[in-house]
Amino acid sequence: MNRPELVCPAGTPAALRDAVDAGADAVYCGFQNATNARNFPGLNFTPDELARSVDYAHKRGAKVLLAVNTFPPAGKVDLWRDAVNMGDRFDVDAYIVADIGVAEYVATRLPHRRLHLSVQAAASSPEAIRYYVREFGVKRVVLPRILTVSEIKQMGEEIPCEMETFIFGNHGLMVEGRCSLTNYVTGLSTNLDGVCSPAAQVRYEPQPDGSLATRLGDYAIDCFSKTDKAGYPTICKGRYRADCRPDPYYAFEEPISLNLSPLLADLIKAGVHAFKIEGRQRSRAYVRSVVSAFRKSVDAILAGREPHLAELIALTEGGKQTEGAAKSKTWR
Amino acid sequence: MAELTIGPILFHWTADRKRDFYARIADEAPVSTVYLGEVICSKRSPFFDEHIPEVAERLERAGKKVVISSLCEVMLKREREAMREHAAIPDREIEVNDNSGLFHATGRPHRIGGLFNCYNEATLDALVTRGATHVCLPAELPRASVALMAARGRERGVGIEHQVFGRASLAVSARCYHARAHGRVKDNCQFVCEEDEDGMTLKTVEGAPFLAVNGIQTLSYAYLNLLGDLDDLVALGVTHLRLSPHTQDMVATAEIFRGRLDGRIGVEEAQAKLKELRPDATFANGFWRGRAGHTFTTARI
């Protein structure tokens, strides 16, 4: 059985240290700007912080993967190149990229650096992945969250690079890296600015009947009764009406968390090289508990023991969780 | 002189409707290029694939250039096979909408479709070096970036296309949202998307129209309308302007845009005529203006 790398989120230097201390083999993070897909206020690293964090991780045997995984709009490419060059100076262990221009820049200027293909590149077939391996020397692909375990195994047999899969975090079926929903509503783009439902344009509005409407820009994304816990207004997690659905329904996704912990052993057998935990926007406490729980689980499986995963369930969104696409494909 | 094109039909129209549509486009529409082929759902492909040679020939006889556009999402075995065959189509240009298409098309001339992420000069260069001859930019790219892409396209000798009419594609998914709305899944969808020939409107809980669902694709409720910005697009060097097909009279739509491009009609008259063709439509040009995509501003830039 190969030993999969546990790849953990770091939204701040403190979270990075916690993740490393809790047993992460690698942490991923980004700069405080549009060059990464979690460009949220209060998150991410200044250049100084990244330099010190890489040092902290390396001294403890952990890798740092730099997410430069948004798509630069024409005229702003230098910001992405600066991020890449700083990462090189600070000796990051790999870049996670999505844009072809950024990939080519790393491949030609910094051929000694590892390239990982971000889930934002939406490479969901062997040919798509082989394109990035052939043209840019990509060493690892982060697979979309839409494949079953058997499809992942099949994929592994058809591609000449490592596979990383999400095991815990958001459950989403929208193709990542191909979304302009937020830009349509707010003028800030997920692909170009790394922004999804920006907090500055979110409002929670109590209604006369006691319910609570959640809004993004000019649009109501959902409305919650007094007894419901209101969710954050992410467009693809909202409730809407259609002619055939007069009552509001989750048109895209249920707000539910992905938890593949019961499938870890199967995923290792399927040839997955790295497990990704999502949550750069999450608290230190969250990162600490999730990382240490998965560390124990992976180690247990590798030692031939049963993993204990009950503590993870408490951390999932509203307690609701799913093995998502990985279990079967009846949801498509 | 900037040319008008007809983008691929995004919706699941019947084969008869598509054939009638293209016959009229061939005979009457002032467009130079027509993109054919199913780009959204591989389950729909068999309904029209067999008619493509005949329709293409008809369009070519009328002097139109025909480009075969490919699926925007490739996952299943049949989709991978379709993409391989698509890239091997002889003697005709192809448009690629997915990175798996690039695997096959690299090294032979091909176009890049508007559903592919080509947002900057570096990506344009990388794609052109590998055989791309023409790029339709993503609809969300703002004017300042389009200007730079048009300039780089001119330097590299490739066409730069931008959508100027029709609902904008905002997202694609692994899940079919048409099937989901009807309590089904993709595998037993019974082609319910056929009922909504311009997409299925999603309204907010408060009843405000918001988005349009088309199988695995989510589109804007508002129709992209850059009629008022055509002079600007042309001055910046955009070579091709794409009209995305809807159920309204697309020949008349093309005539309005052509009339405006030729300076035969003014902006206000053109907007009024477009509104007359489609009184129920809401228009938007926010992406072009670097604002929220759903907004519509008629003031000159």
CA distance to partner chain A, nearest, from residue B45 (Å): 18
Which whole number is the average pLDDT over B238-257? Answer: 98
DSSP string, A321-332: EE-HHHH-STT-
Number of residues that make up chain A: 332
Single-letter code of the amino acid located at A244: C
pLDDT value at B244 more than 60:
yes
The domain ranges of chain B are 3-167+223-279
Residue A221: list chain B partners with CB under 8 A.
Answer: 204
Residue B201: list chain A partners with CB under 8 A.
Answer: 242-243
pLDDT value at B189 more than 60:
yes
Residue B202: list chain A partners with CB under 8 A.
Answer: 240-242, 251
Which residues make Cβ contacts (< 8 Å) with residue B194, sequence separation at least 6?
B12, B13, B14
CA distance to partner chain A, nearest, from residue B248 (Å): 21
Q: Does A109 touch chain B (CB under 8 A)?
A: no
Backbone angles phi, psi at A119, to 5 degrees: -60, -25
Beta carbons of B120 and A126 less than 8 Å apart: no
CA distance to partner chain B, nearest, from residue A17 (Å): 35
Of A127, A183, A191, the CB nearest to B103: A127
Beta carbons of A332 and B181 less than 8 Å apart: no
Beta carbons of A184 and B205 less than 8 Å apart: no
> What confidence score (pLDDT) does residue A170 get?
85
Of B126, B145, B174, the CB nearest to A173: B174
Which CATH class name applies to B3-167+223-279? Answer: alpha beta
Backbone angles phi, psi at B156, to 5 degrees: -90, -5
Q: Does A159 touch chain B (CB under 8 A)?
A: no
Closest chain B residue to A222 measured between Cα atoms? Answer: B205
Write out the two tokens for B72.
């925007």
DSSP string, B69-91: E--S---SHHHHHHHHHHHT-TT
Q: Does A166 touch chain B (CB under 8 A)?
A: no
Backbone angles phi, psi at A309, to 5 degrees: -120, 5
Mean pLDDT by 10 residues, chain A (332 residues): 93 97 98 95 96 98 98 98 98 98 98 97 97 98 92 96 94 91 98 96 95 97 92 96 97 90 93 95 92 94 86 65 71 68
Alpha carbons A10 and A18: distance in angstroms, whole number: 9
Closest chain B residue to A144 measured between Cα atoms? Answer: B174
> What confidence score (pLDDT) does residue A136 get?
98
Closest chain A residue to B141 measured between Cα atoms? Answer: A73
Beta carbons of B106 and A135 less than 8 Å apart: yes
Strand (E) or helix (H) holding B166:
strand B159-172
Q: Where are the beta strands (DSSP E) in chain A?
A: 5-9, 26-29, 63-68, 94-97, 114-117, 140-142, 162-170, 202-206, 212-216, 219-224, 239-242, 245-250, 257-259, 274-277, 321-322
Which whole number is the average pLDDT over B145-173? Answer: 98
Beta carbons of B99 and A121 less than 8 Å apart: yes
CA angle, A147 as apex, A143 and A150 as ends, to 5°? Answer: 115
- Find the radius of gyration of the CA atoms of chain B: 18
Closest chain B residue to A188 measured between Cα atoms? Answer: B292
Contact B223, B247 (CB under 8 A): no
Closest chain A residue to B203 measured between Cα atoms? Answer: A241
Closest chain B residue to A184 measured between Cα atoms? Answer: B293
Beta carbons of B99 and A251 less than 8 Å apart: no
Alpha carbons B63 and B101: distance in angstroms, whole number: 27
Residue A241: list chain B partners with CB under 8 A.
Answer: 202-205, 207
Topology at the third CATH level for domain A5-173+256-327:
TIM Barrel (3.20.20)
Beta carbons of B120 and A71 less than 8 Å apart: yes
DSSP structural state of residue B229: G
pLDDT value at B250 more than 90:
yes
Contact B118, B138 (CB under 8 A): yes
Write out the two tokens for B289.
């203006």
> What confidence score (pLDDT) does residue B95 get?
98
CA distance to partner chain A, nearest, from residue B252 (Å): 27
> What confidence score (pLDDT) does residue B145 get?
98
Beta carbons of A74 and B148 less than 8 Å apart: yes
Which residues make Cβ contacts (< 8 Å) with residue B40, sequence separation at least 6?
B10, B11, B12, B71, B72, B172, B214, B215, B216, B217
Identify the three-state secondary structure at position B263: coil
> Shortest CA distance to B142 belongs to which of B296, B287, B292?
B287
